[in-house]
Amino acid sequence: MKRKLFTGIIAVLLLFSSNVKAQDLKSAEIKIKTSATCDMCKKTIESALAFEKGVKKSTLDVPTKIVTVVYNPKKTTPEKIRLAISNAGYEADSLKANPKAWSNLEDCCKKGTTCEEKK
Ligand SMILES: [Cu+2]
């Protein structure tokens, strides 16, 4: 008897938490692996994303090269965010960097070399 009640409570809790998630559609978070190598890359990517529609906040962690993006899923999609990073000259997950944008980057920011190595 007790066990059934317990399972029932868990089920209700699960239902409740999934409802909360469904309502919270104005904000979503995604982590994207980029080819950033230094603080300059961080600035380039974060400012490119700042101009991207629907993006609320982006924070790039240089050591892991992962950018955490908070966005409004009604206004943009992870695909568009990755494209914006590519158009800034960097890889975004499996998406390759836009070659034109990449060639405009500072030498030390181009993939294959790292700014740390040059110092
Ligand atoms: Cu760089």
pLDDT bracket for residue 110 (50, 70, 90): confident
For residue 46, report the distance from its CA to the centre of ligand 1, in Å.
12
For residue 44, report the distance from its CA to the centre of ligand 1, in Å.
8
Q: Judge whether residue 34 has pLDDT over 80.
A: yes
Task: Please state, in angstroms and as integers, the Cα–Cα distance from residue 54 to each residue in 58, 81, 116, 119, following that order.
Answer: 11, 9, 33, 37
Q: Judge whether residue 118 has pLDDT over 50.
A: no
Give strand pairing partners of 30.
Answer: 69
Average confidence score pLDDT of the chain: 86
For residue 119, report the distance from its CA to the centre of ligand 1, in Å.
12
Q: Judge whether residue 22 has pLDDT over 60.
A: no
Nearest to 90 by CA among 75, 76, 101: 101
For residue 106, report the distance from its CA to the centre of ligand 1, in Å.
7
For residue 77, report the distance from its CA to the centre of ligand 1, in Å.
26
For residue 67, report the distance from its CA to the centre of ligand 1, in Å.
14
Q: Which residue has the higher pLDDT, 86 or 10?
A: 86
Output the pTM of the full model.
Answer: 0.76
Residues contacting residue 80 through CB under 8 Å, at least 6 positions apart: 52, 53, 54
For residue 32, report the distance from its CA to the centre of ligand 1, in Å.
17
Q: Judge whether residue 2 has pLDDT over 80.
A: no
Residues contacting residue 98 through CB under 8 Å, at least 6 positions apart: 86, 87, 88, 89
Model confidence pLDDT, tens digit, residues 39-53: 999 999 999 999 999
- CATH fold label, 25-98: Alpha-Beta Plaits (3.30.70)
What residue type is 95 in one-letter code?
L
For residue 18, report the distance from its CA to the centre of ligand 1, in Å.
40
For residue 91, report the distance from its CA to the centre of ligand 1, in Å.
13
DSSP-H helix ranges across the chain: 2-23, 39-50, 78-87, 99-103, 115-118
Model confidence pLDDT, tens digit, residues 83-94: 999 999 999 999
Residues 97-111 have a mean pLDDT of 91
